[in-house]
Amino acid sequence: MVQTIARRLAAALRERPELSLRALAAQSHVGRQTIGDLLAGATWPDVLTVCRLESALGLALWPGSNTTQCAHD
């Protein structure tokens, strides 16, 4: 599951070259290092982290998730 999330996150960043890790971190309120660790497969994200990233990107990272239902704050 984590590999799927990391692949989808990496693909989203490749498709949006103007979106840096720093910009995604600011938009999602997820630390830049946390995002980097997730991309490297060095960490397991919690549900809140996935939710925040999905909301910032406007796409599902977790298979079968619905970003419109992701309320985190």
pLDDT tens for the chain, 73 residues: list them: 888 999 999 999 999 999 999 999 999 999 999 999 999 989 999 999 999 999 999 999 987 766 556 654 4
For residue 1, what pLDDT is reported?
Answer: 82
pTM assigned to the model:
0.85
For residue 69, what pLDDT is reported?
Answer: 60
Instruction: Give Cβ neighbours of residue 40 (< 8 Å, ≥ 6 apart).
Output: 6
Angle at 55 between CA 60 and CA 53, to 5 degrees: 75
Q: Which amino acid is residue 69, in one-letter code?
A: Q
Given a contact cutoff of 8 angstroms between Cβ atoms, the answer to whether 31 and 42 are in contact is no
CA-CA-CA-CA dihedral for 50, 52, 55, 58, to nearest 10? -50
